[in-house]
Structure 1
Amino acid sequence: MATHAAYDCDVLVIGGGIVGLSSAYALTRTAPGTRVTVLEKERGPGRTPPGGGMVHTGIQHAPGSLQARWTVRGAAELADFCAEHGLAHTVTGKLIVATAGAELPRLHGLVQRGRAHGLPVRELGPAQIAEYEPRVRGLAAIRVGTGGVCDFAAVAARLAAEVSDAGGRIRYGADVVAVDRRPWGVAVRTSDGRVVRARVLVNCAGPHSDRIARLAGDDPGVRTVLLREASYELTAPDQVRGLVHQVPDPALRHPGARLTRGLDGVVRLGPAAVPARAEAEYARSGGFLREPASVLGRTGAWRITLRRRHDAEGAHGRPTVARAVRRLLPGVTEDDLRPSPSGARAQAFLRDGTPVNDFLLRDAPHAVHVLHAPPTAATASLPLGREVARRALLRARATGWRPPAVESGHCV
C-alpha cells in the first residue's frame, strides 16, 4: 500500500465543468481536509449560456428517476446557494401551455407527475394564463412555481473558489492522455507530461467521459456524441415575462416551443439539439466531435439518426420554429426571430443506438465515472456532486485512507 506522501492528491477529478466542480466542492465539504485536484482540458472555465441558464423543475421526468429526484432537490438547493453567495438567480415560475385539445391529456399527466414530485403546480385557464403572460395564448396551462433562471457561470466560479479556499487545486489546460490504474490507486498523465497520482479518479469529463473510462481500462458501455444546440431570440422580448413551454410530445424528438427570458432580458427559443454537420461547427465552442460511424459503429438506430439529420435540422429552421412559436404567441413571424449563439451538449448512446435519458454513473476500482449528464445537470449539480463524492470516498477508504475531519450528517 502506498504511503500518504506518495499521492499527489486523495481524489482526482477530471473535468472542470459544473458537474466536476460540484463533485470537488462536495468532497471538500463532506470530508474537510481531503486533498482534491481538478483537471480541465480547456484554458479556462467552461462556457455557459449567455444571459443565464434555465433552472429546470423536474416535472417531466418519471417519479423515482435520478433526473426527477436530483433536479427537484437541486433547484431548491441552487436557490439557497445563490442566495448565500449573492449570485444572480430569479424564480419566475414556468408555464407549460396546451394549445390544442390533443395536448390536454398530456398536460393533465404533467399535473399528476408534478404533484407526485411535491412541486407547487397550479392549473390555469385561458384568462389565468394572461395574468402571468399577457401575450401567450392557450386552451389551458399549468404553472410550476420552482422554474427560473440562474447565472450558472457565476455558480461554477463560486464552486471553484470554494474548492480553492478549501485547499483544492484546479489546473486548466490539462488534457488527460493516459490513465494507469495500480493496486494502490491511479496515475494520470496530461499532455504536458505531468503525472498526478491519486487514490481515486472521478471522471466528469462530459463528452470525453467514455474516452477517459476506456483509458482507465473500463468498458463504459456507451459512446458519447456532441450535439449542436440551435436556438433563436425574439427581436421583441417584451412578449414574454418568464419561462413558457409548449406541452412536450414524447413521440417527437424535440420538446416543442420553449421560450426563456434570461437575466439579460433576452428571450431565447430552444435550444434544440441536432447532430453536428462538421467538426468546424464545434470549433467555436471548444467542443469535441468524432465521426458518428467511429462513435457508434454501424448500429441501425444511429443510421436512422444520420438519415434524419437534415430533417432534424430542418425541423429547427427559422420557418418551422416561427410556426411553433405562433401557437403560443400569435403573430410571430420569421422576421421576429434572429439566430442566437449555438452551444453544444454531450449525449451518450447505448451500443444499440438507444440514447441514455437519465444520469448514468458507474463505479470501478479506484474510479467513479459520470458517463451521462442530461441537460438538467446544471440544476441538479449539487445533489449529483454529493452522490459522486459519496462514491469516491468509499473507494478512497478502501485504500486505507481516512478523512482528516468529517462534518456530521454529510459523510458516508
Structure 2
Amino acid sequence: MTDIAVIGGGIVGLATALRLQAVLPGRTVTLLEKEDAIASHQTGRNSGVIHAGIYYAPGSLKAEFCRRGLAMTVAFCREHGLPYDQRGKLIVATSAPEMERMAALEDRARRNDLPLERLDRTELQRREPNIAGLGALFSPTTGIVDYGAVTRRMADLFTAAGGDLRLGARVAGIREMPRTVTLDLGAQDMLDARHLIVCAGLEADRLAAMSGLADDFRIVPFKGEYFRLAQRHDRVVHHLIYPVPDPALPFLGVHLTPMIGGYVTVGPNAVLSLAREGYGKLAFNTRDLADMLGFAGFWRTMAANLRPGLHEARMSLFRRSYLQACRRYCPALELEDLTPHRPGIRAQAVMRDGTLAHDFLIRRTARTIHVCNAPSPAATSAMPIAEHVVAQAVDGFGL
C-alpha cells in the first residue's frame, strides 16, 4: 500500500511527485511510468522553449502558470546547475495583417503583465540581420532549456528523498473504492493506493475514462515535425524567432529555435497523427485511429479546420512547402539546410462539440485527480501545475 500513486513520468508527473514529498513529508509516494525511461514522449520531444506566457488569455490557468513557471524553471536550473539560456524571443510580422495581429498580441501581453518591446523594421534588422520583417515584438524573458534533463534531475531528487519510481509499469485498470484505489498493472500485479494523481499526457483520456471522467473529450494527437538547420546556420539567429500566430488556429506556427546543444531547429508544423506514440512518417495504430474516428468531436474539429489542416499536411509531405514557411522571415535558408530532427506529438483534448480545450483541464473524483489536458506550455508550467494539483489533493483528500 502506498499513500499516493502518481501515473506519468513526464515533467508534470515528476514535478507533482516532488511537490507531494515537499508538502506531505512522511507520506509514501509511488510514481508509475509505462516506458522504460522517463520523459520519453512530450517532455523529451518538445522544442525546449521556456515560454513567457504572451499568447494566453488573461486570467487563464495557462497565463498564470506560464508566468510563474518561467521563474520557477529558471530557479530550478540555477539551483541544480542545469544549462539554460534566456536569450529572448522575437515575434516577427511579415505583412500588414500580421502587423495588426501583432498589436492585438502586444495588448494581450501587457494585460498579462509581461515585459515586451516593440521593434520597427530597422531595429529588427539591426538585432537579427538574417531575419526579414516589417516589425517585431521582443520578449526578453523567453528562454531555452533541455526539459528531458530537468525531468531526469527531478527523478533523481524524488528517489533520493525516498520516492518509489517504477518504470515499465503500465496501468491497465483503475478501481476506486471508499478507502483505496487499486491499480491493475497487468500480469496479476496490483498496487493499492490511498489516493491517485494521473498526469498521463497522451494517454490522459484513457486513464480518465477508467475513473468515469472522459465522456465529453478525447485526446487527439498532433505530430510536430522539426528540422535541424545545417551546421553553417548554427548562428543564423541569436534570439528565438516566431511568426505572428493566427488567432483562428490552435498552434503557434513554424519557428526558429537556437537549442541548448548549440544548433538551430525549425518547426514544428502540426499534422494529425495516426498514432499517439508513433513518430515515423507512416506510423499507424489501429486503436488510436478507432478512438478518433469514433468520437463526434473529432469530425467537428476536422471540418472546422479543414483548410489549415490541409496546409499542415502539405508541409509534412513536401519539404519545399515547409521551406516556404521558414523563408517568409528567414530568406537565406535553402532546401538542403533542412536536415532530419526528431518529431514530437502533442496531446490535445478535443471536446464533444469539436472545440479544442485551450486551457489546462483538471478533473477529480473522491480519491483521484486527473490532469486531462496539459499541452504547451505545460513543460514551462509544470511546477505551478504541480502546486495547483497538490493543493487540490490536500484540500479534497483531507490530507
Q: Same fold (TM over 0.5)?
A: yes
2:4 equivalent among 7, 11, 14: 11
Whole-angstrom CA distance in 2 between matches of 1:32 and 1:134: 53
- Note the alpha carbon deviations across 1:163-205, whole angstroms, 9 max, x for none: 2122211100000012111100211120243221112110111
Q: Which residue of 1 aligns with 2:14?
A: 21
**Shift of residue 84, structure 1, vs aligned partner:** 0.5
Alignment of 1:294-313 (within 5 A): 294-295=291-292, 296-299=294-297, 300-302=299-301, 304=303, 311-313=311-313
> Quick one: which of 34, 39, 57 aligns to 1:62?
57
Q: Does the 8 Å contact 1:225/1:289 carry over to 2?
A: no
* RMSD (Å), alpha carbons: 2.5
In the other structure, the counterpart of 1:230 is 225
Alignment partner, residue 186 of structure 2? 191
Range with greater deviation from structure 2 (74-83 or 214-223):
214-223
Instruction: State whether residues 9 and 198 of structure 1, in contact with CA within 8 Å, keep that contact through their aligned partners in structure 2.
Output: yes
Paired residue type of 1:98: A
Secondary structure at the counterpart of residue 256 of structure 1: coil
State the 1:305 CA deviation: 7.3
Query: CA–CA distance in 1 between the matches of 2:120 and 2:311?
Result: 35
Contact 1:226 1:346 in 2 (8 A): yes
Residues 368-405 of structure 1 show CA distances to partners (whole Å, capped at 9, x for unaligned) of 010000121000001001111111222332xxxx5xxx
* Alpha-carbon separation, structure 2, partners of 1:387 and 1:256: 29
Offset, 1:25: 0.9
Structure 1: distance between partners of 2:223 and 2:47: 18
Match of 2:170 in 1: 175
Please state whether the residue corresponding to 2:27 is helix, strand or coil: coil
User: Which residue, out of 79, 86, 90, partners 2:81?
Assistant: 86
Task: State whether structure 2 residue 258 is matched by structure 1 residue 257.
Answer: no
* Residue 410 (structure 1) aligns with: none
| Aligned residue in 1 for 2:390 | 389
Q: Relative to 1, partners in 2 of residues 1:370 and 1:265: Cα closer, same or farther, differing over 3 Å?
A: same
Q: Partner amino acid for 2:270?
A: A
Cα shift at 1:225:
2.2
Identity %: 36
1:294-316, Cα deviation, whole Å (9 max, x unpaired) = 33524441453796655431134
**3-state SS, counterpart of residue 291 of structure 2:** helix
Q: Normalising by the residue count of structure 2, what TM-score does the alignment of the two structures yield?
A: 0.91
Q: Within 2, Cα distance between the matches of 1:183 and 1:221?
A: 25
| Alignment deviations for residues 195-233 of structure 1 (CA, whole Å, 9 cap, x no partner) | 211121101111111111222243453111222211112
Q: Distance in 1 between matches of 2:133 and 2:141?
A: 21
TM-score, normalised relative to structure 1: 0.88
1:258-298 CA-partner distances (Å, limit 9, x unpaired): 110101122111112211246794479x9977344433524
**Aligned residue for 1:98?**
93
Kept in 1, the 8 Å contact 2:174–2:184? The answer is yes
- In structure 2, relative to structure 1, the CA distance for the partners of 1:98 and 1:306 (3 Å cut) is closer
In structure 1, the residue matched to 2:201 is 206
CA separation in 2, counterparts of 1:162 and 1:261? 28
Q: Which runs of 5+ in 1 are unaligned?
A: 1-7, 403-412
- 1:250 CA drift (Å): 1.6
Distance of 2:342 and 2:328 partners within structure 1? 24
- Tell whether the 8 Å contact from 2:84 to 2:145 is kept in structure 1 after alignment: yes
Aligned residues: 391
Q: Is the 8 A contact 1:52 1:152 kept in 2?
A: no
Q: Work out the CA distance in 2 between the residues paired with 1:78 and 1:242.
A: 19
Q: Following the alignment from structure 1 to structure 2, what is the Cα–Cα distance between the partners of residues 370 and 252?
A: 23
Give the match for residue 31 of structure 1.
24
Checking the alignment, whether the CA contact within 8 Å between 1:226 and 1:288 is kept in structure 2 is no
Letter in 1 for 2:255: R
**Could you tell me how far apart the structure 1 residues matched to 2:152 and 2:93 are?**
38
Secondary structure in structure 2 of the residue aligned to 1:76: helix
Contact 1:119 1:145 in 2 (8 A): no
- Answer yes or no: is the 8 Å Cα contact 1:226–1:289 preserved in 2: no
Work out whether residues 225 and 292 of structure 1, in 8 Å CA contact, stay in contact via their aligned partners in 2: no
Secondary structure of the structure 2 residue equivalent to 1:376: coil
- Deviation, 1:49, is 4.6
Segment drifting more, 23-32 vs 293-302? 293-302
Q: CA–CA distance in 2 between the matches of 1:376 and 1:45?
A: 19
Higher mean C-alpha displacement, 66-75 vs 316-325? 316-325
CA separation in 2, counterparts of 1:363 and 1:279? 24
Quick one: which amino acid aligns to residue 330 of structure 2? L
Give the whole-Å Cα distance in 1 for the aligned partners of 2:265 and 2:8: 28
